[in-house]
Amino acid sequence: MAKPILETKGITVKIRSQLKLDPKKIPAHVAIIMDGNRRWAAKHGLGPVDGHCQAAQEAIEPLIKAAIGLGIKYLTLWAWSTENWRRDKIEVNGIMKLFSNGLKDNLERFQKMGVRLNYLGDLSRFSKAISRRVLNLVKKSKENKVITVTFALNYGGRDEILRAVKRLIKTGRKVSEIDENLFASCLDTAGMPDPDLVIRTGGANRLSGFLPWQAVYSEFYFTPVLMPDFTPGKLKKAIASFQKRERRFGGGSFSVYRKNKG
């Protein structure tokens, strides 16, 4: 029987997996490209929005609880891209309704878990009601410190960089003053650490424009598991893979290769 890993504010977190992780090597920031909802729905003979509903209602909260139990401090979830607006109108409208209801109904549960909510992306394309609810969740949860959960909404990597450039221009800084730190402060992720681990569900082996600046030294984990089936155990498996890797960030000593030769 699985033992509870953490009990926080009355919530017991369980991860049903026999994998053993090194608590000293838990990634501080895990980002997930949530892919495969539509294929999951088609596989189960359901409609275009049902896979998104399954992921939102059955997958996301257990993953947040699992992340808390593992000691992950930042969890970023790509929920809607700048390209997703091209989908069929019935699917777009259904997802907007799902967003609206989810934003309205989940604040109390997130508060109890100690979740600080955040968002990436351009909210201007959403309805005023959805934008207000996102900003309200961010405001009301800003003092929570257990974990920061960020939803990427109407997010695209190129769009983020273009918006960052425009913000930078507005600062009036001289070219000689511009460095990586200044530019990073103009990105949507300002104040957040770069992701240590980027996971993509659904089988595709690409980032599709997700966090192109921030993910330059992230470790990637691609899985064929569709997002509605991506359980806490699957998250733990991804972190186990992460822990086997050696991260040098472009540095490291040649002596490491001598030790590992052959």
Q: What is the DSSP string of 169-220?
A: HHHT--GGG--HHHHHTTSTTTTSPPPSEEEE-SS--S-TTSSTTTTTT-EE
Burial class (CB in 10 A: 0-12, 13-18, 19+), 2: exposed
Report the distance separating Cα 142 and Cα 119, nearest Å: 12
Residue 209: inside a domain, yes or no?
yes
Dist CA 112 CA 109 (whole Å): 5
Please indicate, yes or no, if residue 176 is contained in any of the structural domains: yes
Spatial CA neighbour of 67 closest among 202, 229, 235, 223: 235
- pTM of the entire predicted model: 0.89
Q: List residues with catalytic annotation.
A: 35, 84
138 CB neighbour count, 10 Å cutoff = 15
251 in a domain, yes or no?
Answer: no
- Does residue 3 lie within any of the structural domains? no
Give domain status of residue 80, yes or no: yes
Domain of residue 93, residue span: 25-244
* Tokens matching residue 62: 């257990």
At 1 the pLDDT is: 36
Do the domain assignments include residue 109? Answer: yes
Q: Determine, yes or no, domain membership for 17.
A: no
Question: pLDDT at position 261, please?
Answer: 64
Domain annotation covers residue 103: yes
Q: pLDDT at position 166, please?
A: 97
Per-block average pLDDT, block size 10, for the chain (262 residues)?
A: 42 57 97 98 97 96 97 98 97 96 86 96 97 95 97 98 97 96 98 98 97 98 98 98 88 67 58
Beta-bridge partners for 148 = 74, 116
State the total domains in the chain.
1
**CATH number of the domain to which 181 belongs:** 3.40.1180.10
Give residues with Cβ within 8 angstroms of 54, minimum separation 6.
37, 40, 41, 228
| CA dihedral of residues 77, 92, 126, 195 (deg, nearest 10) | 10
Q: How far apart are CA 121 and CA 134, in angstroms?
A: 11
